[in-house]
Amino acid sequence: MKWDTCDPSVQYLLHLGDDALVLGHRLSEWCGHGPILEEDIALSNLALDLVGLARQYYQLAAQRISGGCTEDHLAYWRSDREFLNHVLVEQPNGDFADTMARQFFFDAFHVLQLDALQHSSDAELAAIARKALKEATYHAQHSADWVVRLGDGTEESHRRMSAALARHLPFVEELFTAAAVDRVAFERGWGPDVASLRASWLELVGEVVAKAALSLPVVAPKLLRGKQGIHSESLGFLLAEMQSLPRAYPDATW
Amino acid sequence: MAPTVDLEARFLAYVAAENKVEPKHWMPDAYRKTLVRQISQHAHSEVVGMLPEANWITRAPSLRAKLILLAKVQDEGGHGLYLYSAAETLGTSRDQMIDDLLAGKAKYSSIFNYPTLTWADMGAVGWLVDGAAIQNQVMLCRTSYGPYSRAMVRICKEESFHQRQGYEIMMHLARGTQEQKAMAQDALNRWWWPSLMMFGPSDDQSPNSAQSMAWRIKRKSNDDLRQEFIDKTVPQAEFIGLSIPDPDLKWNEERGHYDFGAIDWSEFFAVVAGNGPCNTERLEARRKAHAEGAWVREAASAYAAKQSARRPAAGLPAKPHAA
Ligand SMILES: [Fe+2]
Ligand SMILES: [Fe+2]
C-alpha cells in the first residue's frame, strides 16, 4: 500500500476491519449454496453485517490516513502480509458445522470485544462498536443456537459439530494473545486487554457447549501471527479472488 | 356432471369480475395444477437465479458493490421463500417441489442457464433480466390467485430496486474507461436476445396462454409484454451510449412501438431442452447444496422433535422441582 501514516490508531482499525471483512467474505461464499433456504438468507445477513462493519472501520482509518485514501484502497490494495485479521476468521468454510464452529468462537469473542470497545477513549471507534454490538449479539445467539441444534440433533450432526469444534479450537488462543497492535490499543485506552477477555469467553462458550451435549477437547494452541500479517495459506487465495478486478483494471473506478 | 359445469361457469364469472381466489375456495383442478406448476417454476427461478449472480459476490470490485450484490441475491432467496409458501397453499409441499426441481421434472427460467462472465454481467442481469421479470411480475400483481398476487406485490417492490441497481452498474461502466465500456457493451450483446426470450414464444404457439388468460392468471400476451420491455429498455440503452445488438431495431411511428428483428427460437428451445451453456452446472449446484445440507436439515428436525418431547404437554402443570 502506498499510504504511510503516523497515526497509530490506523493499524488497530485495520485489524478490526480485517476481521470483519475476511469473515464476512467467507460467509458470503455460502450465498446460493446454503443447507436450507432460510439459513442461506441468514448467512448472507451475517455477511452483510460484517462487511458493513468492515466498511465503517476502513472509512475511519482512511480519514485518518488522508491523501485520498478510501475504504476500497484499504480492502483491495493491501497484500496478505498487510492484513491483520486473526487466522481463525480466514479458515475455509468446510461443512456447515465448520462454518458454525468458526462463527461461534468468533462471535463470543466479538461480543466481548465490542462491549469493551463501546467504552473506547476513541469516541469515533466507540460509536461504531456501540452499533455493532447489537448485531454481534444477534450473531452470537444464532451461532450458539446452531451449535446446540447440531450437537443435540442426530448422531451424525453431533459427530460433525464435535469435530468442527476440535478443528477450530486451536485457533482461539490467538484471540487472547496480545500482539503489538493490541498492546498499543490497550495502552492508549482504545481497546481491551485481550487476555482479560479469555475467562468470560470460556464461560460463554462453555455454557453453550454443555447445553449442546458437547465438550471442548484439550488442544495445544497453534503458533499464530495473523495480527502481524503472517497468515495461513488460504488468505492469499481469498484476497487474490476478492481483489482481482480492481487490480486487473487499475485505472478504473467501480 | 351438471354441478361441475355449473361450478366451473361460476368460477369463470367470479374471476372475470376481478375477484380473488383464496386457498379454501373451490377451484377447477386444472386451475390448481396450472398454478402449482407456474408458481413453483417461478420459485425455482428465484432460487436457481441466485447462482449466476452469486458467482460474482466474492469478486465484487468495491465494498459497496459487494454489499449491494449480496443483498440483491439474498432478496432473490427471499422471493423463493414467498413463492414456495404461496404454492404450498395449493396443497403441494416445498419438499415435493424441490424434489421435482432436482429430479429435472420441474422447470425454471432458462435465462439462468447462461454464464456470468464479467462484472458487467451483474449490470446486464439486473437491468435486463430483472427488468424483463418485472414486466411479467407487475402483471402478476393482479393475477386471480390471492396468495400469488400478494407475493408478487412484495416482490415487485424489490425487483424495481434490482433493475435500477443493475442499470446503475451499466451506466457507471459505460462512462468508465475504454475497457469498462467494452465490457458493458459485450454484456449487453450477450444478454439482450436471451432476455427477450424470457417472455416465451408468441401466444399462438403457447398452448396454455388462452386458458390462463380466461382464468385471469395471466393478463397480457407474451408478445405484448415483450414489446413493452423493448420500448422501455431501448431508450435506456441509448441514454448511456450502448447499442442494442439488433440491426433491425427501429422506431415505428405508426405503431408507436419499436420494430425488432426475428428471435432465434431454436436457441430458446435448445436451452429449455437442457442444452444451454450452464444447465448442467446450475442443477448440479442445487443438487450439491441440497445433498450436503441433508444432515443439517435432519439434525434441525431431530432437535425440534426432542425439544417438543421435552416440553411439558399443554394444559398440564409442569412437574414441580424437587425442593
Ligand atoms: Fe426475484
Ligand atoms: Fe430480482
Of B72, B41, B38, residue with least CA distance to B55: B72
d(CA A161, CA A168): 11
pLDDT per residue as tens digits for the range A90-143: 999 999 999 999 999 999 999 999 999 999 999 999 999 999 999 999 999 999
Angle at B124 between CA B121 and CA B130, to 5 degrees: 120
Q: Is residue A92 part of a domain?
A: yes
Q: What is residue B228's predicted lDDT score, i.e. its pLDDT?
A: 98
Angle at alpha carbon of residue B168, lines to B167 and B170, rounded to 5°: 65
Determine the pLDDT at residue B170: 98
The Å distance, Cα B147 to ligand 1 centre, comes to: 16
On the 0-12 / 13-18 / 19+ scale of CB atoms within 10 A, B17 is exposed
CA B38, distance to chain mean position in Å, is 10
B41: cell is 417454476
Concatenating the DSSP letter of every residue in A21-43 gives HHHHHHHHTTTT--SSHHHHHHH
Q: Is residue A201 part of a domain?
A: yes
What residues are neighbours of ligand 1 (ion), with CB under 5 Å? B 46, 76, 79
Classify B216 as helix, strand or coil.
Answer: coil
What are the beta bridge partners of residue B258? B251
**Residue A88 alpha carbon to ligand 2 centre in Å:** 34
* Residues A106-128: b if buried by 16+ CB within 10 A, e if exposed: bbbbbbbbbbbbeebebeebbeb
Report the b/e string of B227-265 with b at 16+ CB within 10 A: bbbbeebbebbeebebebbbeebeeeeeeeebebeebee
Q: Provide the 3-class DSSP secondary structure of residue B311.
A: coil
pLDDT of B311 reads 83
Phi, psi of B257 (to 5 degrees): -140, 165
Chain A neighbors of B293, CB-CB under 8 A: 34-36, 96
Q: What is the pLDDT of residue B313?
A: 65
CA proximity to B170, closest of B158, B157, B188: B188
How far is residue B50's CA from residue A83's CA, in Å, rounded to a whole number? 30
**A33: nearest CA in chain B?**
B289
Contact A151, A158 (CB under 8 A): yes
Residue B86: how many CA atoms within 13 Å on its side-chain side? Answer: 30
Q: Does A199 touch chain B (CB under 8 A)?
A: no
pLDDT in the model for residue A186: 98
- Is this prediction's ipTM beyond 0.95? yes
Q: Is A92 on the interface with B (CB under 8 A)?
A: no
Question: What are B149-181's pLDDT values in tens digits?
Answer: 999 999 999 999 999 999 999 999 999 999 999
CA B73 – CA B130 distance, rounded (Å): 12
Provide the pLDDT for residue B306: 95
Residues whose CB is less than 8 angstroms from the CB of residue B133 and which lie 6 or more positions away in sequence, other chains included = B159, B198
Residue whose C-alpha is closest to residue B128's, from B174, B163, B156: B163
Asked if B149 is an interface residue toward chain A (Cβ–Cβ < 8 A), one would say: no
C-alpha cell at B109: 427460467
Burial of A36 (0-12, 13-18, 19+ CB in 10 A): middle
Residue A65 lies in a domain: yes
Which segments of chain A have a pLDDT < 70? 1-4
Structurally, how many domains does chain A consist of? 1
Say how far apart CA B295 and CA A154 lie, in whole Å. Answer: 8
| For helices B146-174 and B130-140, angle between their N-to-C axes, nearest 10 degrees | 160
Q: Tell me, yes or no, whether A221 lies in a domain.
A: yes
* In contact, B140 and B148? CB cutoff 8 Å: yes
Determine the pLDDT at residue B3: 63
Distance of CA B136 to the CA centre of its chain: 9
CATH of the domain at A24: 1.20.1260.10
Ligand 1 centre distance from Cα of residue B159 (Å): 6
Closest approach of chain A CAs to the CA of B294, in angstroms? 7
Bridge partner residues of B251 (DSSP): B258
Please check whether residue A171 lies inside any domain of the structure.
yes
Render each residue's pLDDT in chain B as its tens digit; 323 residues.
556 679 999 999 999 999 999 999 999 999 999 999 999 999 999 999 999 999 999 999 999 999 999 999 999 999 999 999 999 999 999 999 999 999 999 999 999 999 999 999 999 999 999 999 999 999 999 999 999 999 999 999 999 999 999 999 999 999 999 999 999 999 999 999 999 999 999 988 877 888 999 999 999 999 999 999 999 999 999 999 999 999 999 999 999 999 999 999 999 999 999 999 999 999 999 999 999 999 999 999 999 999 999 887 655 555 545 43
Closest CA to A128 of A117, A138, A137: A117
By C-alpha distance, which of A168, A218, A87, A42 is closest to B296? Answer: A42
Q: Is B291 on the interface with A (CB under 8 A)?
A: no
CA of B248 to the centre of ligand 2 (A): 29
pLDDT at B320: 47
Q: Would residue A97 count as lying in a domain? A: yes
Query: In this structure, are residues B51 and B282 in contact, taking their beta carbons and an 8 Å threshold?
Result: yes
The rounded distance, in Å, linking the Cα atoms of A251 and A113 is 38
Q: Do B65 and A242 touch (CB under 8 A)?
A: no
Residue A36 belongs to what domain range? 7-248
> Between chains, do B61 and A75 touch, taking CB under 8 Å as contact?
no
- Top residue of A31, A73, A135 to mutate, by most chain B CBs within 10 Å, is A31
Residue with the three cell numbers 351438471: B2
The pTM of the full predicted model, rounded to 2 decimals, is: 0.95
| Residue A156 within any structural domain of the chain | yes
CA atoms within 13 A on the CB side of B251: 8
- Closest CA–CA distance from residue B227 to any residue of chain A (Å): 32
- A232 within a domain of the structure (yes/no): yes
Question: What are the Cα distances from residue A74, in Å, to A147, A246, B214?
Answer: 34, 12, 58
Residues in A touching B62 (Cβ below 8 Å): 72, 76, 246, 254
